[in-house]
Amino acid sequence: MTTDTAPTVAIPSVRAIRWKRRQVATARFIRAFSRYRSGLFGVGILLFFVAVAVSAPYVFPEYLLDPNANLSNSVYAPPSAEFYYWMGTDDLGRSVLAELAWGARPSLVVGILASIMAMIIGTLVGIASGHFRGFFGGSMERLTDWFLVLPFVPTVIVLQAVLGETTIWITVIVLGITSWPGTARLVRAQTLSVEARPYIERAKVLGNSDWAQMVRHILPNVMPLVIANTTLTVAIVILSMTTLAFLGLLDPNLISWGGMLDSADATGAALQGAWWFLIPPGLCVIAVVLAFTLIGRTLEVVLNPRLGSN
Amino acid sequence: MSSSVEDVHTQTEIVIEVDDLHVTFEGREGGTARAVDGVNIAMRKGEIIAMVGESGCGKTTLARTILGLEKPASGTVLSHGEPLQYSGRALKTYRKNVQLVLQDPTGSLNPRHSVYEAVAEGPRTHGMDDETGRVSRALAMAGLRPPERFFLRYPHELSGGQRQRVVIAGALALDPDVIIADEPVSSLDASVRGEILALMLKLRDELGLTLLVVTHDLGLAWNIADRIVVMYLGRVVEQGPTEEVLNNPQHPYTRALLSVVPEMHGTEQIVLSGETPDPTKIPSGCRFHPRCQEVRDGVAEKAGVLAACQSVSPVILSAQIPVGETELGHDAACHLVTPPPTA
Amino acid sequence: MAQQEPGGVSDAALDPTEFGRVQRPSRVSGIGRFTARRLLTGLGTLAFVLVFNFFLFQMLPGDPLARYKGAREISAEDLAALRQELESPLWEQFFNYVKDPLQLDSYSTIQGKPVWEVIADALPWTLILLGTSTLLATVIGIWIGIRAGWNRGSKFDKNSTGITLFLYATPEFWLGLLLILFFSTGFWIFPGIFPSGSAIGSGLDPWTVDGVISIAWHTVLPAASLAAVYLADYSLIMRASMVDELGQDYLMTARAKGLMDRAIRRGHAVPNASLPTITLIFLNIGFIIGGAITVETVFSYPGLGLLTWNAIQADDLPLLQALFLFFSVSVIVFNMIADIVIAAIDPRIRL
Ligand SMILES: Nc1ncnc2c1ncn2[C@@H]1O[C@H](COP(=O)(O)OP(=O)(O)OP(=O)(O)O)[C@@H](O)[C@H]1O
Ligand code: SF4
Ligand SMILES: [Mg+2]
């Protein structure tokens, strides 16, 4: 191999072309995504709630949420024309509208962070259990099966008790720990089918270590699926968090939609016909969960993680 | 045929040797598939060996075992006389010298890696210097010129033949001594096949590479190989210099294979009876006897070897040069060729 | 062509669907062997749950003695024994636990009865609720899924997918609260005709006609809340599998050959497409046994869910520990049943 001339490719141009390719790919992705109305609808809802979550502190001053600052308000006052009280008051005389806006914050933060945590654990375990044959892979597979059967609420209760207080971060960790097995199973199945591709064989023959095979070849090929799946996991995590809040298992000082429903249930809002404290929080949960579900389903189609294509 | 053929048979430096190799798989239905069942092959420096045989006879398994991708149930793979070690590091060093080219070039390339990345993968993994230089030399050698134009292409932007060239370049970038190609052209257009075959001849002539080419296609073997190894149901049934094997086939199975090749004029087409063989149920005696046309047509009986065909396994062909000779001869594992000891 | 390329595992084994369990080829074949193997992994999982259960509850902060004694009357002798046990070294406690993993003698601190008795009292109610809601969700969900998937893109498909996605996103307890608001309290034009507390009218004997009617009446709203949410899940999965199945070559040919749509649907598409849904239904049964907590709380329905909630509120650790075990085991068991049922229907899975 001595005959041919040395190459004359300048590094910057390689970069530039690569950058160009990324841009083209991104543009193609956006175009493909925007062909799905339901996906765009999901993005729209999500953007709305993100805006609400970000602006809540500016639009609704914190005193509106303080039980002691609203003692003079009447309890379960029906909706009125005054902006803060468009949605009436709750069992403590606070503005329901303000609570709804503030409640968007923990839903999004916990939902996204816990899902990312589940994504990381699930992807690591899933790839490892699909790639390694023998004892290690088998153990990872078993571990997934084991975590899959743990009963959700009791596990959360005990984990929280073990971890100490119930801050929002503890909730993130607890939900992350309980949400990864589904991702791991999915990633494992996908890893197995990537493993059967000849380029993995080629990678082995070229001398790649297990680690290099996983990072260079398997991970990039399971990533689209993981991203779509994580988006769907956010939806499930938000529902789980709502359940926990409803059972009084979140930080009691945190304003959340599930917590609002807990108060509504505990103080008999349904029996008193206080629909404004009962219906809007549920609709907010549904809207956000629906948004992530719609986006996730669209990503599944658009990123089309069928192997070999792309 | 290349001019170096004559030298090849007298050269005795054996690069890779396979000694009494057995590879088995646990079958789903409970049996054990003996995919490779006692094979001896010696690959001498600079020769091109074609391995032919019908689907399922164990060619791919043998190739993968030579690369250490499959562990033999018994027997050894030797590299320059040293038995292959199966530790990660030993395999890595070994595979720097012995590279693999697969049948399906599309599947062999990660769809998310550019040509440059695909070819640079080997040198990078082995920490070799002058990566860019190596990549462009390998691409040029594999016939992709000018190499720079291909650096940033992705596999889906290339033709099948170009993809196979990229795979070959990826192997060449490691400066190997041996390339094992498992049906390298069977998924390509007829027009492209010739080019890839010419490329392989060129690699042998210019780089002194040793090649083992697995194929279904006897015509292909005729065109490039110095030596042919015919496999049937996990065993080598005939081996010898290409011209001798093709012009004067000894084993009934080889004759049957040749009779259906259109270019082989003059022979009547021999139709094999019986089902395609199952490596979990290898017949007793000669493993070919349930389908052998000589048995069916009574030739074996006339020659008095029928009983042996049914109960005595023909000798396993050796890869060693017989004592007193200078080159490997032409052998066939058939009682009609070499009478069984009892007869 | 029975060609095996490198890797050597067939496509069936690599079925990358979320619910297709992937197993390596092995010598074992036949449904009997499969069942045996599956029981073995089930036992392994059970062992993990037992160990996890022990250590998790060990790690809880606070005074264990108070927890395990609770409000129950206890003799000085028993108290001393309990204290001694709780103060013995961890390995000894673990050993005792392994000898008696069900903790048959442990007492619920709120009810002053053995925990397993408490669970046995609540179980029938849970089974009634679970049975009703699963039946509803399965029948309706699968029906919608088949129709929507078969007529993909039709008006029915669009509407039903929209509605089921909405239901999928709904917290089941919120639906319960709404149902109470509308059909129990009575609100606006809605009649408050269904009861929403307990599972049977007070003082009624469940084994009389009046009792049975009362039970049925009490089950309507909680069962509807659960069924609505789960049917969404089932119909979405069923629809997706139908769509997948319709893309298969054999169905295309069957349709092209002009076979009656209905015959194809009954004979081929539906049976094949149901496998993932069946798996999911069994899995969910396992989960709902422990997962109806919120719905049972909302309706004060005295099943295992409400029991769990009460145990949480009262910090009744022995009961919670037993419930944890019970819920895990039900998931394990139903998971196992799902795998075996699927393997019996579809031999590809068995390998
Ligand atoms: N990983 C595996 N597990 C089980 N059986 C296998 C495996 N790999 C190969 N086999 C079996 O071993 C036998 C030989 O297969 P092999 O792929 O080596 O044949 P081949 O000669 O390359 O066939 P083809 O010409 O079709 O490529 C076949 O019966 C095959 O089913
Ligand atoms: S040994 Fe007998 S059966 Fe085998 S090939 Fe020769 S003649 Fe045929
Ligand atoms: Mg092959």
Chain C residues touching B29 at Cβ < 8 A: 29
Give the pLDDT confidence score for residue B9 in this predicted structure.
Answer: 46
Confidence of residue A309 (pLDDT cuts 50, 70, 90): very low
Share of chain C above pLDDT 90, in %: 15
Q: Are C180 and A142 in contact (CB < 8 Å)?
A: no
Give the pLDDT confidence score for residue C24 in this predicted structure.
Answer: 40
Q: Are C6 and B102 in contact (CB < 8 Å)?
A: yes
Q: Which of A11, A18, A200, A202 to mutate to test the interface with B (most CBs of B within 10 A)?
A: A202
Give the pLDDT confidence score for residue C62 in this predicted structure.
Answer: 61
Confidence of residue B88 (pLDDT cuts 50, 70, 90): confident
d(Cα C270, Cα C286) in Å, to the nearest integer?
24
Q: How far is CA C336 from CA C35, C41, C241, C281, C331, in A?
A: 9, 9, 22, 12, 8
Q: What is the dihedral angle through the alpha carbons of B275, B280, B282, B283, rounded to the nearest 10 degrees?
A: -70
Give the pLDDT confidence score for residue A91 in this predicted structure.
Answer: 80
Q: Are A1 and B207 in contact (CB < 8 Å)?
A: yes
User: Which one is predicted more confidently, C63 or B340?
Assistant: B340
Strand partners, A242: none
- Ligand 1 site, CB within 6 A: B 25, 33, 35, 53, 55-61, 279; C 3-4, 8
Q: Which ligand is nearest to the CA of B289?
A: 2
Average the pLDDT over B70-78 and give the result: 93
- Ligand 2 site, CB within 6 A: B 252, 286, 288-289, 292, 294-295, 300, 305, 309, 314, 334-336
User: Which one is predicted more confidently, C259 or C87?
Assistant: C87
Contact A125, A180 (CB under 8 A): yes
The CATH number of domain C30-59+102-350 is 1.10.3720.10: yes
Cα B243 to ligand 2 centroid, rounded to whole Å: 22
Q: Is the pLDDT of residue C8 over 50?
A: no
Atom of ligand 1 nearest to the CA of B63: 18
Cα B310 to ligand 3 centroid, rounded to whole Å: 28
Give the pLDDT confidence score for residue C2 in this predicted structure.
Answer: 34
Q: Is the pLDDT of residue A292 over 70?
A: yes
Cα C231 to ligand 3 centroid, rounded to whole Å: 47
Chain B residues touching C6 at Cβ < 8 A: 60, 64, 69, 102
Give the pLDDT confidence score for residue B323 in this predicted structure.
Answer: 66
Q: Where in chain C are the domains?
A: 30-59+102-350
Q: Which ligand is nearest to the CA of B307?
A: 2
Among B70, B81, B50, B56, smallest CA distance to B221 is for B50
Atom of ligand 2 nearest to the CA of B253: 5
Cα B62 to ligand 3 centroid, rounded to whole Å: 9
User: Which one is predicted more confidently, B109 or B326?
Assistant: B109
Average the pLDDT over B287-314 and give the result: 90
Q: Among B109, B125, B147, whose Cβ lies nearest the Cβ of A207? A: B125
Give the pLDDT confidence score for residue A157 in this predicted structure.
Answer: 81
pLDDT digits (tens, 9 = 90+) for C271-330: 778 888 888 888 888 878 766 888 998 888 888 999 988 888 887 888 888 888 888 888
Q: Are C291 and A150 in contact (CB < 8 Å)?
A: no
Cα B287 to ligand 1 centroid, rounded to whole Å: 17
Share of chain C above pLDDT 70, in %: 70
How many other C-beta atoms lie within 10 A of the C-beta of residue A307? 18
User: Which one is predicted more confidently, B201 or A157?
Assistant: B201
Q: How far is CA B313 from CA B34, B335, B338, B342, in A?
A: 15, 9, 12, 12
Average the pLDDT over B160-187 and give the result: 93
Contact A84, A64 (CB under 8 A): yes
Identify the three-state secondary structure at position B35: strand
Share of chain A above pLDDT 90, in %: 41
pLDDT digits (tens, 9 = 90+) for B310-328: 998 988 888 777 666 667 7
Confidence of residue C260 (pLDDT cuts 50, 70, 90): low
Q: What's the gap in Å between the CA of C188 and the closest CA on chain A? A: 9
Give the pLDDT confidence score for residue A72 in this predicted structure.
Answer: 76
- ipTM for the assembly: 0.85
Give the pLDDT confidence score for residue B172 in this predicted structure.
Answer: 95
Average the pLDDT over B240-251 and give the result: 91
Q: Which of A197, A199, A215 to mutate to test the interface with B (most CBs of B within 10 A)?
A: A199
d(Cα B106, Cα A308) in Å, to the nearest integer?
8
Average the pLDDT over A263-291 and give the result: 88
Average the pLDDT over A201-215 and give the result: 91
pLDDT digits (tens, 9 = 90+) for A224-259: 889 999 999 999 999 999 999 998 888 888 889 999
Computed over every residue of chain C, the mean pLDDT equals 76
Average the pLDDT over B35-39 and give the result: 93
Give the pLDDT confidence score for residue C10 in this predicted structure.
Answer: 32
Closest residue (by CA) to atom 8 of ligand 2?
Answer: B292
Q: Which residue of C has its CA nearest to B62?
A: C6
Q: What's the gap in Å between the CA of C258 and the closest CA on chain A? A: 30
d(Cα C107, Cα C240) in Å, to the nearest integer?
47
pLDDT digits (tens, 9 = 90+) for B181-239: 999 988 888 888 888 989 999 999 999 999 999 988 888 888 899 999 999 999 999 99
Confidence of residue B99 (pLDDT cuts 50, 70, 90): very high
Give the pLDDT confidence score for residue B187 in this predicted structure.
Answer: 86
Q: Which of residues 80-139 of B touch A (CB under 8 A)?
A: 88, 92, 95-96, 99-100, 102-104, 106-113, 116, 121-122, 125-126, 132-138
Is the minimum CB–CB distance between A270 and chain C shorter than 8 Å? yes
pLDDT digits (tens, 9 = 90+) for A15-74: 676 787 788 888 988 998 999 999 999 999 999 999 999 998 898 888 878 877 777 777
Q: Which ligand is nearest to the CA of B37?
A: 1
pLDDT digits (tens, 9 = 90+) for C156-177: 999 999 999 999 999 989 998 8
Chains touching A by CB (3 or more pairs below 8 Å):
B, C
- CA angle A197-A202-A207, nearest 5°? 135
Give the pLDDT confidence score for residue C259 in this predicted structure.
Answer: 62
φ/ψ of B35, rounded to 5, equals -65, -40
User: Which one is predicted more confidently, C12 or A195?
Assistant: A195
pLDDT digits (tens, 9 = 90+) for A103-154: 999 999 999 999 999 999 999 999 999 999 888 988 898 889 888 888 888 8
Is the minimum CB–CB distance between A278 and chain C shorter than 8 Å? yes
pLDDT digits (tens, 9 = 90+) for C181-222: 887 766 666 666 666 777 666 666 767 777 777 777 788 889
Give the pLDDT confidence score for residue C72 in this predicted structure.
Answer: 55
Q: Are C29 and B55 in contact (CB < 8 Å)?
A: no
Q: Which residue of B has its CA nearest to C2?
A: B56
Q: Which ligand is nearest to the CA of B300?
A: 2
Closest residue (by CA) to atom 2 of ligand 1?
Answer: C8
Minimum mean pLDDT range among A178-182, B252-256, B328-332, C194-198: C194-198
